[in-house]
């Protein structure tokens, strides 16, 4: 993953502290007394559905939230699945891009309400929340350019999930809604913190406080959505939504994997670190591409950028 790959090139500062936490396997391990194995066991008690990963030769993987009979709600075992898929992606050295989608034409309806009812005590709720914060923080920090493909509905935790990608595409009939207020909740999977960074605090407060239904137009207007795809049924001859999402993503992942992954790393450090630390990190990442094969090949070809 991004942090693992940078381990050798940085030994101080904020990243170092993050690296130490990551090395212990969890974003929260040094913040809360958080026993990941304990919560994993509790989550496995609520089975159903799966989170499926397809790694393609193109360097673009597809992660599918798959529980169609419950509108792709996250069962407990799917939360564990998600964390395991993120680990697989962290270890995928050739990867460049990631598309996160829901199965059967809808994105994700959040937590499985059956599991939510069964673990409604605050202690277990907070453990689940820390587990998902960890998995989604690591998803966002992957050295892959990631895009959420939103078809149908993204509700509650489903809306939080899409904020853990670099970009969001919506099909024209799709809807994003942070319904937490209607459930007597606020986001807990890190969705509020990420939303503020994407749309700013004013818009984030409107979306959370009003449980506003965000269609593709509003999504584009406030910067939550990066592109709109026609619904599959409205389109003939231009492929499925997934194919169109792959086509949209292709311009950002075209080229050698080390360069694309380096681009994600410098953006990530710019987004997450104080300037001095980000500059140090940028220098370290720069050192991994300067004089490397892609750089030497470009110099030898005397390329022009017309
Ligand atoms: C982190 C905090 C959270 O995420 S709290 C959870 C927030 N999410 C919700 O409250 C979603 C509640 N569900 C809904 O509003 C509707 O089911 C939506 C998604 C709009 C779909 O409506 P509609 O197209 O009419 O289908 P439907 O209601 O018949 O649903 C089909 C079956 O799916 C189920 N389902 C749906 N969402 C969930 C969920 N989050 N957890 C568990 N089950 C869910 C429905 O109960 C329904 O099942 P069944 O066919 O009645 O057995």
User: If you measure from the C-alpha of residue 3 to the centroid of ligand 1, how many angstroms do you get, rounded to a whole number?
Assistant: 36
Is residue 29 very low, low, confident or very high in pLDDT (cuts 50, 70, 90)? Answer: very low
Could you tell me the pTM of the whole model?
Answer: 0.92
Residue 54 backbone dihedrals phi, psi, to 5 degrees: -120, 110
Is residue 8 very low, low, confident or very high in pLDDT (cuts 50, 70, 90)? Answer: very low
In whole angstroms, give the CA distance from residue 242 to residue 248.
10
User: Mean pLDDT, the chain, as a whole number?
Assistant: 90
Sign of CA dihedral 13, 15, 17, 19: negative
Neighbours of 136 (CB within 10 A): 24
Is residue 162 very low, low, confident or very high in pLDDT (cuts 50, 70, 90)? Answer: very high
The predicted pLDDT at position 230 comes to 86
Q: Which atom of ligand 1 is nearest to the CA of 70?
A: 33
Which stretches of the chain are assigned E, i.e. beta strand?
Answer: 50-55, 60-66, 97-102, 145-150, 153-155, 167-171, 175-177, 213-214, 227-229
User: If you measure from the C-alpha of residue 245 to the centroid of ligand 1, how many angstroms do you get, rounded to a whole number?
Assistant: 26
Q: Which atom of ligand 1 is nearest to the CA of 191?
A: 1
User: If you measure from the C-alpha of residue 176 to the centroid of ligand 1, how many angstroms do you get, rounded to a whole number?
Assistant: 14
The neighbouring-strand residues paired with 51 are 65
Query: Does the structure show a pLDDT above 50 at 12?
Result: no
Q: Which atom of ligand 1 is nearest to the CA of 106?
A: 19
Architecture of domain 36-231+239-254: Alpha-Beta Complex (3.90)
Is residue 28 very low, low, confident or very high in pLDDT (cuts 50, 70, 90)? Answer: low
Q: Which of 35-44, 54-63, 99-108, 254-263 has the lowest mean pLDDT?
A: 35-44
Q: Is 87 helix (H, G, I), strand (E, B) or coil?
A: helix
The predicted pLDDT at position 34 comes to 78
**What is the token pair recorded at 48?**
């159903």
Residue to substitute in 72, 105, 106, 113 for testing ligand 1 pocket (most ligand atoms within 8 angstroms of CB)? 113
Q: Which atom of ligand 1 is nearest to the CA of 155?
A: 8
Domain ranges in the chain are 36-231+239-254, 255-305
- What is the torsion angle, in degrees rounded to the nearest 10, for the CA atoms of residue 299, residue 300, residue 302 and residue 303? -70
179 Cβ inside 6 Å of ligand 1:
yes
The predicted pLDDT at position 35 comes to 86
In whole angstroms, give the CA distance from residue 249 to residue 236.
21
User: If you measure from the C-alpha of residue 71 to the centroid of ligand 1, how many angstroms do you get, rounded to a whole number?
Assistant: 6
Is residue 113 very low, low, confident or very high in pLDDT (cuts 50, 70, 90)? Answer: very high
């Amino acid at each position: 993953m991004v942090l693992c790959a940078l381990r050798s090139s940085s030994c101080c500062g904020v990243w170092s502290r993050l690296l130490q936490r990551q090395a212990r396997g969890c974003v929260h391990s040094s913040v809360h007394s958080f026993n990941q194995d304990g919560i994993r066991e509790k989550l496995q008690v609520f089975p159903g559905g799966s989170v499926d990963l397809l790694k393609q030769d193109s360097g673009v993987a597809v992660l599918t939230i798959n529980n169609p009979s419950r509108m792709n709600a996250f069962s407990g075992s799917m939360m564990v699945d998600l964390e395991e898929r993120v680990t697989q992606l962290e270890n995928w050295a050739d990867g460049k891009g990631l598309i996160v989608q829901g199965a059967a034409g809808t994105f994700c309806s959040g937590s499985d309400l059956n599991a939510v009812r069964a673990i409604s005590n605050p202690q277990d709720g907070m453990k689940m929340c820390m587990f998902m914060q960890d998995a989604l923080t690591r998803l966002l920090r992957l050295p892959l350019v990631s895009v959420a493909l939103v078809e149908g509905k993204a509700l509650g935790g489903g809306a939080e999930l899409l904020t853990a990608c670099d970009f969001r595409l919506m099909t024209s009939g799709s809807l994003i809604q942070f319904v937490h207020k209607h459930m007597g909740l606020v986001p807990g999977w890190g969705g509020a913190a990420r939303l503020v960074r994407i749309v700013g605090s004013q818009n984030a407060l409107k979306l959370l406080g009003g449980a506003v239904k965000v269609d593709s137009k509003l999504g584009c207007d406030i910067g939550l959505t990066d592109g709109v795809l026609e619904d599959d049924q409205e389109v003939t001859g231009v492929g499925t939504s997934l194919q169109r999402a792959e086509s949209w993503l292709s311009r950002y992942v075209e080229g050698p994997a080390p360069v694309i992954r380096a681009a994600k790393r410098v953006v990530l450090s710019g987004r997450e670190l104080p300037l001095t630390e980000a500059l140090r990190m940028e220098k370290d990442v720069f050192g991994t591409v300067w004089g490397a094969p892609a750089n030497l090949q470009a110099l030898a070809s005397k390329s022009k950028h017309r």
